[in-house]
Every structure is written in C-alpha cells, then in structure tokens.
Amino acid sequence: MSSIRIKAKERKGSVDVKTLMKHNMETGLRKNKDGSKIPEHWITDVTAESGGKTVFAAAFNTSISKDPYLAFAFAGKKGDTLKISWKDNTGKTDSAETVVK
C-alpha cells in the first residue's frame, strides 16, 4: 500500500487536492531511550503531476509535522489523473495516483 493518500475533487474547473503522506519526519533532535540521537529522516521533495505537467511542487524541512499534510488546488477537471510523489533525504521515494472525482 502506498504511503500516500490523495483526495482530489473538482469544483468549477479547479481541483481541490488534499494529501497525507505517511512518514515519520524525524527531526534529528529526538533521542532513543539509551540517549543516542535518532537520525533525521524526512521528506525533502514532493511533486504533483497531472496531464504530463507539474501542477504543484514543494520542498520540506524537518519542521513539517509527522505524516505531512498538503492541500492545494489546480486547474483541472473530473476524470483527470493526478500523481503525487515524494522523495526523502535517504533517497527513498514513493508515489500514488488517483483519478479526480
């Protein structure tokens, strides 16, 4: 199962997108019980593509909350596909696709 949940709904030619990405977003400041630091691990980049073009992109710091949430809106219509991908600082990536409702 993808780590990315997407809700995309058209409203008068504009697609409202809400997305939640499951990710620990470790700040590098937290400590394990033994006192050692938990290394930072966070999503650095997110992109949203629809119809072959990027409709939204963002870069994150470690100060974005755990399981990052993003909402934005782009010009589109019901039936369009929307693909959201992320990349984290360890190079791990994930993506998910949905059809606009």
Partner 1 sequence: MDRRSILKAAGTISAAAAALAAFPRAVFAAYSEKAFKNPKVEDSLNELFGGNATTPSGDVKLKAPDIAENGAVVPIEVSTSLKADKIAFMVKENPNPLAIVADIPAGTEAMVKTRVRMGKTTQVTAVVSSNGKLYTASKEVKVTIGGCGG
Partner 2 sequence: MKTIIRSTLGTLGLGLALGVSAGPVEDQAAFQKYYENKFPNTPVMDFQNGVYSILPEARQQWEAIEEFPPYEIAIENGEKLYHSKFANGKSLADCFGPEGAVRGQYPFWDKDRGMVITMERAVNECREANGEKPYGWKKGKIADVTAYMSFNSRGQEIKVDIPSDDPRALAAYEEGKEQFYTKRGQLNFACADCHMLTAGNLYRADTTSPAFGHATSWPVFRSKWQSMGTLHRRFAGCHNNIRANPYKAQGTEYSNLEYFVTYMSNGLEFNGPAARK
Residue 7, contacted partner among partner 2, partner 1, none, CB below 5-8 A by kind = partner 2
Residue 21, contacted partner among partner 2, partner 1, none, CB below 5-8 A by kind = none
Please, which residues have CB within 8 angstroms of residue 89's CB and are 6 or more apart in sequence?
Answer: 40, 41, 42, 44
Q: HSE of 87 in the Cβ direction (CA atoms, 13 Å)? A: 8
**What's the one-letter identity of residue 68?**
P
Residue 31, contacted partner among partner 1, partner 2, none, CB below 5-8 A by kind = none
Measure the CA–CA gap between 14 and 68, rounded to whole angstroms: 23
Shortest separation between residue 94's beta carbon and partner 2, angstroms: 14
Interface residues with partner 1 (CB under 8 A)?
Answer: 14, 27, 29, 44-45, 47, 53-66, 68-75, 85, 87, 89
